[in-house]
Structure 1
Amino acid sequence: MPVTMSQAFIDNFLGNSPKWYKIAILACLIINPLVFFFVDPFVAGWMLVIEFIFTLAMALKCYPLQPGGLLAIQAVAIGMTSPYQVLHEIQANLEVLLLLVFMVAGIYFMKQLLLFSFTKIITKIRSKIVVSLMFCFSAAFLSAFLDALTVIAVIIAVAIGFYSIYHKVASGKNFHDDHDHTHEEQQQLNHDELENFRGFLRNLLMHAGVGTALGGVCTMVGEPQNLIIASQANWGFAEFALRMSPVTLPVLIAGLLTCYMVEKLKIFSYGVQLPERVHQILSEYADHEDRNRTKKDKAKLVIQALVGVWLIAGLALHLASVGLIGLSVIIITTAFNGITDEHALGKAFEEALPFTALLAVFFAVVGVIIDQGLFGPVISWALHFEGHMQLVIFYLANGVLSMVSDNVFVGTVYINEVKAALLDGVITRDQFDLLAVAINTGTNLPSVATPNGQAAFLFLLTSALAPLIRLSYGRMVWMALPYTIVLTIVGALAIQLGGLESMTQYFYDAHWIGHHSVKEVMDSAVSSH
């Protein structure tokens, strides 16, 4: 039967996505303007947020950029937000975009060193629990000094390396043969072995992803919103870490214990062991690389190690913006390792650029949240509470909103509202300090519940690795659930039990880095604008 023109349009729309998904997106595009103009813009705004989350949840069926982008374009077209607001959000988050463009590409050129290091860990340490704890703690430690997206990019590069090595050998080829590891071949080893290896990698990636949240909350450079909050409160690096410590230290210990328990009890899809045959392949690969490593190869590893030292030092000391440091990593690594071909450079950017475009679409949704005041009622409600309950409410409100929105946006909105309350005399400086801690920990900890709340999780979900290891939105939510429950409860208890007041009193009594006045906060607010 010949295909009609209308049928051709339907077939082309969103490509190979399920027909029901195409219909759902078209229905959203039809309903949204009707609700916006004839029902309530506030309701239409929340519908858009939910629809965008739906496109993220369906990332394995269709990359979210296209359906989410259509929804965002329509939102701008009908007046939910403006092109100016979208541009403003992109400009405000330019460092994050540059991070994705340059830092992720820079990590691509360090993959030989990363694969060498992590292969040794996997092949030499046979205890799955120990390996899981190492991945979780290493991600937490690195995320305290680096950006979480940088850390998760490293882990993704390592996991793709492991998967491609196994897939190549399982397909009957040698280590250095050309091979497309995204294509399923008939010569593969048995299906159960491949599925177990995928489960093993999913476990390690989720442990590392949560680790980035555990470490990222501790310091002012760990997450973008931390830097914003520290700036508004006039806190330095050490003061920020100490003020957060009554919450972050118990949470870190609880997170590592959760990692141990889920692996020990093999619950929530954890506890998948590395198949013996896969371990043998990776061990043989490590031995093969050691035997055949030339002086040029060794020189490349030395350069990558030195660049790694520069990367950590540059980011930890905040010598330049994250994106610019990433660009320097690309230049130095390629220059000294003989990579001068334009096409070789282009491959490094393939992974990051689609997510960069998706993040720009996400900022359009954030623009809708701002212009329609979707979070306003929650903020007003939270300010009505007093004492410890107010801290807990702010912590939980930030956490819930960060689960469905950008935690940078949520943190920024809340700290600005609290700063306004301080300048208006509604709260004291001590209350401001306590609320700043509650806001920071709230945006970082409960938000591990969904990929929406953590940019590192969202990057992982939309990476080329996710479909290879069958890591879907729903599976990520399920595997993050034990961490979500434990981290949220421990964080709330730490805030409720009063350790924050003791730390605030310490700064007041010792006058360490000054007990900042309302005027200093006002001066900070003026300078930040």
Structure 2
Amino acid sequence: MSVSLGNAFIKNFLGHAPDWYKIAIISFLIVNPIVFFMIDPFTAGWLLVIEFIFTLAMALKCYPLQPGGLLAIEAVAIGMTSAEQVKHELVANIEVLLLLVFMVAGIYFMKQLLLFIFTKILITIKNKALLSVAFCVTAAFLSAFLDALTVIAVIISVAIGFYSIYHKVASGKSQNTSHDHTSDEHLEELTRDDLENYRSFLRSLLMHSGVGTALGGVMTMVGEPQNLIIADQASWQFGEFIIRMLPVTLPVFICGLITCYMVEKLKWFDYGTELPVHVRKILEDFEEEERKKRTNLDKAKLIIQAFIAVWLIVGLALHLAAVGLIGLSVIILATAFCGVIEEHAMGKAFEEALPFTALLAVFFAIVAVIIDQQLFKPIIEAVLLLEGSQQTTMFYIANAVLSMVSDNVFVGTVYINEVKTALLEGTITRDQFDLLAVAINTGTNLPSVATPNGQAAFLFLLTSALAPLIRLSYGRMVYMALPYTIVLSIIGFLGIAFLLNPMTQMFYDLGWISHSIAEITTNSVSSGH
């Protein structure tokens, strides 16, 4: 059926997004200049921020890069900010961009090792509660040193592989025949029951793993992109970042694992389904066949990737180079010693990271508007009037609420920039800044597990090919995340309110952390902040 040229433009605009969504974005683009020129730039700036958060919240309707990018382009065009200010923000956060470009791609070449680890865990541990804790802990550990998106992508690969293996056998086909694992029409009723239980089993493991990436990601400066931004603004190195976060992250980690175990044992919130016996037998037989087929070439690759993983951890812990450059070294080592040297084969590694890298550049354009229009200044000034733990807890709550509906990288970037400005202007002391930085980091990382909007790893899981296969919808994900949301948010709040200041002072007394106001001021002036 042919369409008119006018309708063709409308259909092409934002692709398959719903018509109401397209109308909303067009309305935003029309209203913004009117408000900016005829009412007030400050009001227009806040309107832009709300519109951008809307695009993040509606990420399942349309990837935020395109609508958010249009809003950012318009903001520069009408004078809310300048292209030079956007460039300044990008240059100031170059380490984060390098992290996404090179580290995510580098871990792509270590997928064999990660797949091997998660497969062994799934086959070896037969107790479901312990298996869930093992997946959660492994995801947390890997996310502390690697990118959370890559870790969840590996777990998704494992789950899709095992799902298709069982689905093919249950459909009466051999492993060597082609099969569509998205269709259930060849399954018998008894097999369908096993399949539904298997879907529930995989759903719970993936949710535990997703929460694990948040538990581990909050602990280190490379766990999430906003962590690196916060660490850079605070001039914290790898070890100091871990120690400063410890008063909050350690109790949260312990309580998170207890929650993981309890929801499995009590079978609450759609957890607790065991792996069906028939399914386990099929998976064990398949794993045994794969083990027999593993050649010396495959074993050599696993050994090399294990050594590279050790280098990665040591390089990050000792801060031997910028995080992105360590990621680049991982790409070089993994490809050189594992035989991947063709250009087209390497290109696939960058596919996962670059869309989000582009989106992050749009984040910084919106941040440039916030800075130029001083949008958050009244809020920050009001909160800074509070004293002691009230100040840090309010920052934690403010970041938590916004991170539940928006992207935590954007939220963290906005707040740490405002707090850094307050430090440089002498409004707060260095000690206050350090405490607020911890509150911002934990506030953006922990309560954001509430919805897929806040955590990139959750959103990646929800939009993956696996989600419809295991019947993981947006509502079910929010429901299954609820016990974690409650526990992580409350324990994080209590850690900020009662443990942060005393334990930080203890670390100072022990000489584990130290810093000078002069150092951060000098660094900031020399870098042009």
Task: Give the alignment's TM-score, normalised by structure 1.
Answer: 0.84
Aligned 1:295-444 pairs, distance under 5 A: 295-405=296-406, 407-408=408-409, 410-411=411-412, 414-415=415-416, 417-418=418-419, 421=422, 426-428=427-429, 430-444=431-445
Distance in 2 of aligned mates of 1:421 and 1:348: 40
Q: Which residue of 2 aligns with 1:14?
A: 14
Change (3 A) 1:457 1:84: farther
How many Å apart are 1:288 and its aligned residue? 1.3
Change (3 A) 1:244 1:298: closer
After TM superposition, the structure 1 stretch with the greater mean CA deviation from structure 2, 170-179 or 1-10, is: 170-179
Per-residue Cα deviation, 1:286-341 (whole angstroms, up to 9, x for no partner): 11101222222222322333333333333333333333333333333333333344
Q: Which residue of 2 aligns with 1:99?
A: 99
How many Å apart are 1:136 and its aligned residue? 1.6
Partner AA of 2:139 in structure 1:
A
The count of corresponding residues between Structure 1 and Structure 2 is 526
Provide the aligned C-alpha RMSD in A.
Answer: 3.6
Does the 8 Å contact 1:59/1:472 carry over to 2?
Answer: no
How many Å apart are 1:459 and its aligned residue? 4.6
Distance in 1 of aligned mates of 2:219 and 2:236: 13
Does the 8 Å contact 2:59/2:453 carry over to 1?
Answer: no
Change (3 A) 1:359 1:276: farther
Change (3 A) 1:242 1:313: closer
Look up the SS of the partner of 1:490 in the other structure. Answer: helix
Q: Which residue of 2 aligns with 1:264?
A: 265
Task: Give the alignment's TM-score, normalised by structure 2.
Answer: 0.84
How many Å apart are 1:134 and its aligned residue? 1.2
Look up the SS of the partner of 1:318 in the other structure. Answer: coil
1:287 pairs with 2:288: yes
Per-residue Cα deviation, 1:454-493 (whole angstroms, up to 9, x for no partner): 4444554555655665555555444333222222211222
Q: Which residue of 2 aligns with 1:66?
A: 66
Distance in 2 of aligned mates of 1:107 and 1:152: 12
Does the 8 Å contact 1:25/1:67 carry over to 2?
Answer: yes
Distance in 2 of aligned mates of 1:289 and 1:69: 46
Q: Which residue of 1 aligns with 2:210?
A: 209
How many Å apart are 1:349 and its aligned residue? 3.1
Distance in 1 of aligned mates of 2:128 and 2:66: 39
Change (3 A) 1:412 1:343: closer
Change (3 A) 1:456 1:286: same
How many Å apart are 1:449 and its aligned residue? 3.1
Look up the SS of the partner of 2:340 in the other structure. Answer: coil
Change (3 A) 1:187 1:469: same
After TM superposition, the structure 1 stretch with the greater mean CA deviation from structure 2, 311-320 or 421-430, is: 421-430
Q: Which residue of 2 aligns with 1:500?
A: 500
Change (3 A) 1:201 1:419: same
Partner AA of 2:140 in structure 1:
A
Does the 8 Å contact 1:89/1:364 carry over to 2?
Answer: yes
Look up the SS of the partner of 1:385 in the other structure. Answer: coil
Distance in 1 of aligned mates of 2:183 and 2:96: 35
How many Å apart are 1:187 and its aligned residue? 4.5
How many Å apart are 1:367 and its aligned residue? 3.3
Change (3 A) 1:186 1:82: farther
Aligned 1:77-156 pairs, distance under 5 A: 77-156=77-156
How many Å apart are 1:206 and its aligned residue? 2.8
How many Å apart are 1:277 and its aligned residue? 4.6
Q: Which residue of 2 aligns with 1:522?
A: 521
Look up the SS of the partner of 1:144 in the other structure. Answer: helix
How many Å apart are 1:205 and its aligned residue? 2.9
Per-residue Cα deviation, 1:114-155 (whole angstroms, up to 9, x for no partner): 222211211222222212211222222333344444544443
Does the 8 Å contact 2:430/2:517 carry over to 1?
Answer: yes
Aligned 1:34-53 pairs, distance under 5 A: 34-53=34-53
Distance in 1 of aligned mates of 2:289 and 2:120: 13
Percent of residue pairs bearing the same amino acid type: 72
Structure 2 residue ranges without an equivalent (≥5): none
How many Å apart are 1:383 and its aligned residue? 0.8
